[in-house]
């Protein structure tokens, strides 16, 4: 006697068998089939699917199904009774489950891995039959039920808008599904529920959105399809077996729904090889394979397939997005330039800094290297009195080596000149600066030096008059223009976006607009926030601070006829007190969204090359929040590095855009960048439950893709994949860590990558589960 046939009264049952033939059956519950070896043809709900190794198939309640398999197959079957399922999930009778694992959208791979893991674990525990095995099996059943309702559930159409937790309507639906083949009437159901017929009629239509008789007929029609396709029964027998009073009545109702007669439907859909042998002439053929050690070894691989089970309990809301591609779109991506600060020019003599510059230039593109303290620092060697024709201690020895490196990489200098640097010895400064420019022109050529940028920055205190600042700026500019006219000279403004003003000592720039070639400014969200506050209101208000300040500054400058390119030198997203939130507040999506928004608004965005030089330049050993660094101390790439890398990887024209995604088309195919941007008090990031609750799942349906075969490359960047400090925190010791550990942290702290092949017929759907502030980058490369 078969084990596959489940007792209708059992809560659940799991078996593993070789199935060569299993005749048509109905089970009042849900069945999960998992093929671990071989193949089988499964017929159910008017269709047929071939199960191959690793495939999972759901058979929904009360569906007629049958199985034909090859001689070597091994099939796991888990049956869960409707009573047991509904006892723990009130929506059970209002739902059905998406059937075939092969039909799942991309992004559900880990879900099916987890199902295989749990089903295999249940079989092994059943085989062991040890103390506690029953508890393990029952726990796995609950997890599978949870996964089914979380990832595979579909609402039944007639239940849209109905109250899912109404126990009375659930009982009535259950009664209909159990007795649909009998001459069931509204009055019988009303009597069973102690209701009047008129009240039940109104109640049922209000709750189900369809009349009682119409619903009953839909259930009967659904079950009659199997008889039409998989039996040779005549219409009278089919009508009688499915609760219809006569064959004529059955045909009329069938035609009103399917717009053809049952005979026409049978002829159109039934194939010769699907006509079944008479049930009584075919013997059921199944046999247990539990005693085979080889099978248990095969099952063991599924236990290792999904080690992480925590995702089962994610309650991230699913956001459904249907995207119709705008093929005629002419929107282009913005391309800001990247200004990378290193402190003093001599830092480029450090091989590690040079390596970081080379890496960043290759992947991100560096358009300027920013330096400070050119003359007052220690890059230029002191002049030595000597009677030599050519001094053996040349002043520019170090600077020449550094600038030669930049010239070879085609990266111009961005020199910041501070007012106080000039004022210490004005005559000496201009003399030395002029000689440096002359020397650079001679050694590196007018073409390269002409690409340089020089920024004049006034004092932080308003202790200098406007006339004084104007005089210094114009003198500096004239010196540079006398030597090489192509050098662009700009001015730093301190802009108050709330009052829409700049200080009085800066107003002279309106009169000298033609002599100012770019405007530099800073923007830091952290300046607005009191991080000791618990309320989120201020964090929400600051959401678009950097973009808003930029837009306001541009408008302010235009109003004063000073429409110049903007260089945003120092900026930052929310960080909080990083001494306490360091490593927990992942910011990838915050940075990406800001860069995307600014890319069309500014000429240049500034970054620091690494933490060490940033802190060294400021003279502080505290964690600074007045700028963003590309690298940590030991070559580890910080979130801003990968955020900018993904932005720079985007190419082509924008064909779709939304609050959480951007999609482009180029000559190779498509690119999609997804992000789960969440802004909140960074101190909350230490609360694991808070962080988990802000996950988001996106279900994309893309309409209008070019048909063909694609190679799909997916990068996942979040706190677990590419988040540097996660690994840093895991591999730490009070006794310190050595180079081996540091190298491992750096090498493993990178976005995860997946590679799959897809054949697309014009529409494509996929899921992405994004952790807080995560970025997913998808490249769809057309196979030529």
State the pLDDT at residue 5.
55
pLDDT band at residue 697 under the 50/70/90 scheme: confident
Cα separation, 243 vs 237, whole angstroms: 10
* Annotation: CATH topology of 337-649: TIM Barrel (3.20.20)
pLDDT at 208 over 70: no
State the pLDDT at residue 87.
76
Helix or strand run (H / E) with residue 523: strand 518-524
pLDDT at 283 over 60: no
Report the DSSP beta bridge partners of residue 654: 664
pLDDT tens figures, 100-131: 877 777 877 888 888 999 999 999 888 888 88
Highest mean pLDDT among 592-601, 694-703, 720-729: 592-601
pLDDT at 541 over 90: no
State the pLDDT at residue 279.
44
pLDDT at 526 over 60: yes
Percent of the chain with pLDDT over 90: 48
Whether 364 contacts 641, CB under 8 Å: yes
pLDDT tens figures, 393-426: 689 999 999 999 999 999 999 999 999 999 999 9
Closest CA to 341 of 355, 357, 359: 357
Does the domain formed by 12-159+284-315 have CATH 1.10.150.20?
no
Give the strand pairing for 661-666 and 653-658: antiparallel
pLDDT band at residue 24 under the 50/70/90 scheme: confident
Q: Domain residues of the chain, as ranges?
A: 12-159+284-315, 167-278, 316-333+650-784, 337-649
pLDDT at 735 over 50: yes
* Annotation: CATH topology of 167-278: Arc Repressor Mutant, subunit A (1.10.10)
State the pLDDT at residue 463.
79
pLDDT tens figures, 495-525: 999 899 999 999 999 999 999 999 999 998 7
pLDDT band at residue 386 under the 50/70/90 scheme: low
Residue 437 is encoded by which pair of tokens?
A: 């420019």
Cα separation, 266 vs 279, whole angstroms: 19
State the pLDDT at residue 374.
94
pLDDT band at residue 27 under the 50/70/90 scheme: confident
State the pLDDT at residue 226.
77
pLDDT tens figures, 142-182: 999 998 888 888 766 544 334 434 668 777 877 887 788 89
Does the domain formed by 316-333+650-784 have CATH 3.90.850.10?
no
Whether 480 contacts 472, CB under 8 Å: no
pLDDT tens figures, 593-632: 999 999 999 999 999 999 899 988 877 555 566 789 999 8
Between 711 and 624, name the one with better pLDDT. 711
State the pLDDT at residue 774.
95
SS3 of 249-268: the string is: HHHHHHHHHHCCCHHHHHHH
State the pLDDT at residue 276.
46
């Amino acid at each position: 006697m078969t084990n596959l046939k489940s007792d209708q009264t059992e809560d659940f049952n799991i078996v593993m068998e070789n199935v060569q033939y299993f005749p048509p059956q109905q089970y009042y519950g849900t069945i999960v089939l998992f093929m671990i070896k071989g193949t089988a043809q499964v017929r159910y709900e008017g269709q047929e699917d071939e199960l191959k190794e690793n495939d999972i198939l759901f058979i929904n309640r009360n569906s007629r199904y049958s199985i034909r398999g090859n001689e070597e197959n091994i099939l796991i079957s888990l049956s869960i009774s409707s009573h047991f399922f509904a006892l723990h999930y009130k929506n059970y009778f209002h739902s059905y489950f998406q059937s075939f694992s092969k039909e799942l959208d991309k992004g559900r791979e880990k879900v099916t891995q987890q199902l295989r893991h749990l089903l295999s674990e249940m079989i092994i525990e059943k085989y062991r039959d040890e103390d506690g095995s029953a508890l393990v099996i029952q726990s796995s059943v609950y997890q599978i039920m949870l996964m089914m309702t979380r990832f595979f559930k579909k609402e039944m159409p007639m239940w849209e808008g109905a109250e899912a937790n109404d126990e009375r309507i659930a009982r009535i639906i259950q009664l209909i599904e159990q007795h649909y083949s009998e001459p069931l009437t509204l009055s019988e159901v009303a009597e069973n529920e102690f209701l009047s017929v008129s009240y039940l009629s109104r109640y049922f239509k209000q709750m189900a959105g369809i009349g009682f008789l119409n619903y009953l007929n839909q259930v009967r029609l659904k079950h009659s399809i199997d008889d039409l396709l998989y039996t040779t029964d005549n219409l009278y027998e089919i009508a009688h077996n499915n609760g219809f009073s006569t064959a004529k009545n059955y045909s009329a109702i069938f035609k009103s729904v399917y717009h053809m007669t049952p005979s026409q439907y049978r002829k159109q859909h039934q194939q010769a090889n699907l006509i079944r042998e008479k049930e009584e002439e075919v013997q059921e053929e199944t046999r247990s394979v539990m005693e085979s050690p080889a099978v248990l070894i095969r099952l063991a691989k599924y236990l290792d397939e999904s080690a992480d089970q925590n995702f089962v309990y994610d309650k991230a809301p699913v956001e459904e997005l249907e995207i119709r591609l705008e093929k005629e779109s002419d929107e282009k991506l913005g391309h800001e330039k990247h200004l990378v600060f290193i402190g003093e020019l001599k830092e480029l003599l450090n091989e590690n800094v040079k390596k970081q510059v080379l890496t960043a230039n290759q992947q991100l593109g560096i358009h300027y290297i920013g330096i400070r303290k050119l003359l007052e620092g220690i890059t230029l060697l002191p002049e030595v009195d000597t009677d030599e024709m050519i001094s053996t201690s040349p002043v520019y020895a170090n600077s020449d080596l550094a600038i030669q490196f930049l010239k070879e990489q085609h990266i111009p200098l961005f020199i910041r000149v501070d007012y106080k640097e000039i004022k210490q010895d004005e005559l000496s400064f201009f003399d030395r600066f002029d000689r440096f420019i002359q020397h650079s022109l001679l050694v590196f050529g007018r073409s390269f030096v002409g690409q340089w940028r020089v920024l004049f920055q006034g004092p932080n205190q308003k202790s200098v008059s406007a006339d004084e600042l104007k005089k210094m700026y114009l003198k500096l500019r004239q010196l540079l223009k006398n030597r090489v006219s192509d050098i662009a000279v700009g001015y730093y403004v301190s802009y108050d976006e709330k009052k829409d003003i700049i200080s009085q000592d800066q107003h002279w720039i309106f009169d000298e607009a033609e002599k100012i070639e770019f405007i530099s400014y800073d923007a830091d969200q952290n300046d607005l926030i009191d991080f000791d506050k618990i309320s989120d209101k201020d964090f929400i208000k600051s959401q678009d601070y950097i973009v808003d300040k930029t837009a306001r500054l541009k408008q302010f400058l235009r109003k004063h006829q000073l429409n110049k390119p903007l260089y945003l030198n120092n900026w930052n997203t929310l960080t909080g007190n990083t001494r306490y939130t360091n490593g927990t507040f992942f910011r990838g999506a915050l940075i990406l969204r800001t860069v995307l928004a600014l890319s069309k608004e500014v000429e240049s965005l500034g970054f620091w090359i690494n933490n060490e030089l940033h802190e060294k330049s400021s003279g502080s050993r505290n964690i600074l929040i007045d700028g963003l660094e590309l690298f940590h101390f030991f070559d580890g790439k910080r979130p801003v590095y990968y955020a900018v890398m993904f932005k720079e990887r985007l190419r082509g024209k924008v064909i779709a855009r939304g609050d959480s995604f951007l999609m482009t088309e180029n000559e190779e195919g498509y690119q999609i960048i997804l992000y789960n941007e969440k802004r909140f008090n960074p101190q909350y990031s230490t609360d694991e439950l808070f962080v988990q609750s802000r996950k988001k799942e996106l279900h994309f349906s893309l309409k209008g893709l070019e048909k063909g075969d694609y190679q799909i490359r997916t990068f996942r960047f979040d706190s677990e994949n590419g988040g540097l400090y996660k690994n840093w925190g895991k591999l730490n010791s009070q006794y310190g860590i050595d180079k081996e550990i540091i190298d491992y942290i750096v090498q493993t702290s990178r976005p995860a990558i997946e590679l799959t092949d897809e054949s697309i017929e014009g529409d494509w759907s996929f899921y992405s589960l994004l952790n807080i502030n995560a970025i997913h980058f998808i490249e769809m490369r057309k196979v030529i």
